[in-house]
Amino acid sequence: MSILSALGDAVNPVKFAIDGFTTIWHTIKGTLPPDKQHEAEMELMKLQIETSRIEREYEAKLEELMVRDQESLRKQAIAEMQSGSKYVSWARPSWLWGLLMIYLGDYFVLPAASWFSTRPFVIPEIPYEVHLLVGILVGGMAYLRTIEKTGRKVPFSKE
């Protein structure tokens, strides 16, 4: 009996026409039939869970790299502070080199490049306060470095 009912459903022209019509209707409408809609929702949930798992793994690896980088920076700062040279422990030479590159670029490279260009470069203005701050910092560093080189006691030092 079950074989006959299954065969009857397969050969039934009315059921075949209704199934075809619903398939065409969902295709035009841009939706899925209810049984496939549930499957698609389940697949979407699986993909969202997998995506969130991958994001968590990526964030954990990124945090681990950041912790390692911060640890190396701490070790570098400790080594600089324990350095016998006050120049190294007071100022980071990379900061001074970077500052020098900014000033050279602003006052020498860009004006020289504008001489050879058909269209002049717009040279950004550095505010007066920045020049004042840099002058105080570099001047103070030079003063303290000179005192250190002459062998005198540096003011406000722990020695």
Q: For residue 39, which phi and psi values (nearest 5 degrees)?
A: -65, -40
Query: Any idea of the CA torsion for 64, 69, 74, 80, to the nearest 10 degrees?
Result: 170
The pLDDT value recorded for residue 77 is 72
Q: Tell me what pLDDT residue 63 has.
A: 92
Residue 58 CA to residue 54 CA, distance in Å, equals: 6
User: Where do the structural domains in the chain lie, given as residue ranges?
Assistant: 84-159
Residues of the chain with pLDDT under 50: 1
Q: How far apart are CA 61 and CA 57, in angstroms?
A: 6
Element (H, E) at 155: none
| Predicted local distance difference test score (pLDDT) of residue 156 | 65
Buried b (16+ CB within 10 A) or exposed e, 73-92: eeeeeeeeeeeeebeeebbe
Residue 96 structure tokens:
């001074």
pLDDT of residue 64: 92
If you ran DSSP here, which 8-state letter would residue 113 be given?
Answer: H
Radius of gyration of the chain (CA): 37
pTM attached to this predicted model: 0.37
